[in-house]
Chains A and B, each alone.
Chain A
């Protein structure tokens, strides 16, 4: 018996995309803090500009430090290539702008990060791109929402605040039947807990700001392509299958095959929209990637301890985590995310908006801020912050209770986290 002994994810998290610097021997990934790269000669310059040869021209389009980050994420996500950009929002925007122009339509899950919802529902319509939102559990709804002008189906592996898990294989099948790609925001799961491209998705993106970095020091985003979507056979993606004047009539699918999407996203998307990742950012995010497998295991372990503690606490009304058997997506989560569903979940505190506010104010270890996926534990009370403009009815519609608290459980000693939560819950419900 012979076997393909590919390097495994924990190894790739440390090594993929990098060889020790051949000139200096530097073991760490050097920060190539440069805007531009000297051409070998005039012909080399022209060849680089015309995509005849590989290499770097200008750091808006590519940079060696960023390239290590990109290749490493591609490796971890099982993609044919990746593109690093300035934020998760930039990743979403570049992916959409690469696939469609005015007139395009997106079918998206309702369980989306608020910023995604804003871009799709409010901003992109000004540019002629519209979206229909469908409950992630309503598979037939996805099928029905697809129109002739639809160009993308979009969802999140694990949504928030409800912890909805998208049935990626089923939704991929629906998208593919309509000759459309499925794109997944895998921020909350990270490639350690779920690799959507192996489940049928065609594009993955991340807010690398979150678990990938893990340290909360850098904003970044990344897009990964599977290399398997048949753009030519679909016939709906002229950006990838028709000559593009930007490079003398290049046809990306014909010439780049499994890299068609990422090549277009890089050579048109970030080239023109300019939302590149800084080399310093890539360096920070690479520090995060090195320990991502270890951190995710600890995030999951700590989150489970916190959930068990909250379940037993009389001040807690309801916990929305697919890790729990009473969550509607529990069985699906066990199938798609067997190692755990991450460490971001929400719960309702008895006493509504007021109790929620008091709870947050009494926490000592959990930081009250607008972020998730940090090594440090974080908390937010949506009804008084991100969703403060909504009244009780509108909150209900968004699936957010007035007393709902969202936690992002970090890497601290779990006992300290439980002590902190316990004292804050007591204080919040005493008054």
Chain B
């Protein structure tokens, strides 16, 4: 589906079903350097089980027009505007990594627009390794390799994808290498700079689930604890054997955790 937000074209997949604003909506927000396709094993299920789905490409990512937005706050403003642009009063937000920070910020500042939260691969803060930032700034492939290497959990480094025949390492590298110059750096710098999650958490009143991987090296499950504690009534689900890409590595468990909440 094509939408216009702040005057620029946005692509969102609707999970293979007609978008019906009358159904409870879920907006899926991808992580740094990725796009809508990371959600393929959640979006289609929700879209065929009573929800309306919009898995967006953030500005400058995937098939959405640029430029990429340079702060979590700006991405949250954009997400609130997207909810309006889609003709929705409220939506659940499901975010991964950077997208989860955006979901937190949006839910706190636009509480009346957000009915539930699913935060996957999230932590109270997401400091980014200086060599990743440096490589991203220089547009060298090292940052793509490090995101992929640290993002994939121990088990999946050997493969074993639930979808037959797919190889996660190259999926990740292929998507990351498709980014326009500077976009990965803009994303990582936005994550690195964002320190407001705990403070914003107090303002979140909607049902919230955190979906975490016990082998996540990028946002270790322990680093999500303070955030979970700061969001009233939030539930945490830790998926055994999963890394930071738990939504692709363990899609069924991630879906199971989300469907109880959003």
Contact = CB atoms under 8 A, between A and B. Distances in A.
Partners in one complex: yes
Interface of A: 1-2, 4-7, 12, 15-19, 46-47, 50-56, 62-64, 66-67, 70-72, 74-75, 78-84, 226-228, 230, 232, 247-251, 254-259, 262, 266
Q: List the 10 closest pairs (A to B, CB-CB), nearest first.
A: A257-B37, A227-B174, A70-B165, A4-B149, A54-B162, A54-B163, A74-B167, A4-B145, A62-B164, A67-B164
A254 B47 CA distance: 15
Given A54-B251, A78-B170, A80-B174, A256 B165 contact: no
A18 B164 CA distance: 12
A419 B164 CA distance: 47
Interface string B156-169: 01111111111101
A258 B174 contact: yes
Given A74-B165, A82-B167, A19 B155 contact: yes
B137 interface: no
A31 B63 CA distance: 41
Range for the number of chain B residues in contact with chain A: 35 or more
A72 B159 contact: yes
B44 interface: yes
A144 B109 CA distance: 58
15 contacts: A16-B158, A51-B16, A53-B162, A53-B251, A62-B165, A71-B164, A71-B165, A74-B166, A227-B174, A228-B177, A228-B178, A232-B63, A251-B13, A255-B37, A262-B166
B111 interface: no
A26 to B, nearest CB: 14
B45 interface: yes
B40 A18 contact: no
B171 A17 contact: no
Contacts of B17: 248
Pick from A4, A55, A78, A249 the residue with the most CB of B within 10 Å.
A4
A257 B170 CA distance: 12
B216 interface: no
B165 A81 contact: yes
Nearest to B11: A254
Interface in B39-82: 40-41, 43-45, 48, 62-63
A266 B165 contact: yes
Given A7-B157, A255-B37, A71 B166 contact: yes
Contacts of B37: 255-259
